[in-house]
Amino acid sequence: MTDHRGAAPPESPSTTLEVTRVTKRFGEGATEVVAVRDVSLRVAPGEIVLIMGPSGSGKTTLLLMLGALLRPSSGQIRLDGAILSALPESRLPDIRLRRFGFIFQDFNLLSALTALENVAIVAELAGASGKIARARATELLTQLGLSQRLHFLPEKLSGGEKQRVAIARALMNDPTFILADEPTANLDSKTGRDIMRLLRSIAKEQGRSIVIVSHDQRIKDIADRVLWLEDGTFAQATEMAVDPSEEAARSPA
């Protein structure tokens, strides 16, 4: 399936994040750069979309726009029918806090806070009491195998542990969408594979949509769809939907 202007999801009962003919320009006149050009995309609940492409192809710009961190120059981004790109700036932080979970390449944990506090803080900022936030953060970190690391500062955690803390933080406010930027780039292959399995289970068991921007070919294994972005435009779309755990079960260790 190839569509130079956009890519459609598999048939789904409802689409909650929809990008329609979005373009993003930086600069103007002779210095104008079009980072994303006339791109359309729909992300269905529980779907994992992997966006790949060479450096400078516009992947991160697109991710920033999906996460309400950057406004498109033209086109629309709709979240549950509301035009995200038309909302006033003052409403965007709240939408980011409650509707999106972010996972970064460099983990981006707050260095002065423990693993537990790094996760709990986003719930507290969303209005939860400290006690409830800590209980929920403990539960999430325990589910992710970090029950022995709750009170560790980030500097004492391994790369994989940091990324799991970041994933717990992304899940803390029960977001509809998780946006991940190169989530396996700073991890060894085994840890990267563990993180990929984790993301897939989050999408499939919890029904959250995940958009991943990455160069990592291994992530194709967990993606439902792979979109190839080049010069700001989707050049290719491929449906994947291979469960790495199933694949691992098939393959000898």
Residues of this chain that interact with other proteins (CB under 8 A) are 60, 63-64, 67, 69-70, 92-98, 100, 102, 104-113, 117, 121-122, 125-126, 154-155, 162, 169, 181
CA within 13 Å, CB half, 253:
1
Rounded to the nearest 10°, the torsion over CA 242, 175, 164, 227 is: 40
Shortest reach from residue 246's CB to other proteins, in Å: 32
How far is Cα 117 from Cα 182, in angstroms, rounded to an integer? Answer: 24
From 220, 186, 195, 236, select the one nearest 7 (Cα to Cα): 236
Beta bridge partners of residue 25, listed in sequence order: 34
Shortest reach from residue 57's CB to other proteins, in Å: 14
How far is Cα 46 from Cα 91, in angstroms, rounded to an integer? Answer: 25
Shortest reach from residue 87's CB to other proteins, in Å: 13
Tell me whether residue 19 or residue 172 sits nearer to other proteins (CB atom): 172
How far is Cα 179 from Cα 95, in angstroms, rounded to an integer? Answer: 13
Work out the angle at residue 102's Cα, subtended by the Cα atoms of residues 138 and 187, and round it to the nearest 5 degrees.
Answer: 80
- Backbone angles phi and psi of 29, in degrees to 5: 65, -130
From residue 54, give the alpha-carbon distance in Å to each of 66, 106, 213, 230.
Answer: 19, 19, 11, 7
Shortest reach from residue 11's CB to other proteins, in Å: 32
How far is Cα 56 from Cα 44, in angstroms, rounded to an integer? Answer: 26
Tell me whether residue 183 or residue 192 sits nearer to other proteins (CB atom): 183
Tell me whether residue 102 or residue 234 sits nearer to other proteins (CB atom): 102
Tell me whether residue 9 or residue 101 sits nearer to other proteins (CB atom): 101
Tell me whether residue 202 or residue 213 sits nearer to other proteins (CB atom): 213
Tell me whether residue 172 or residue 222 sits nearer to other proteins (CB atom): 172
Shortest reach from residue 48's CB to other proteins, in Å: 19
Shortest reach from residue 98's CB to other proteins, in Å: 7
Shortest reach from residue 126's CB to other proteins, in Å: 8
Tell me whether residue 170 or residue 203 sits nearer to other proteins (CB atom): 170
115, 150 contact by CB (below 8 A): yes
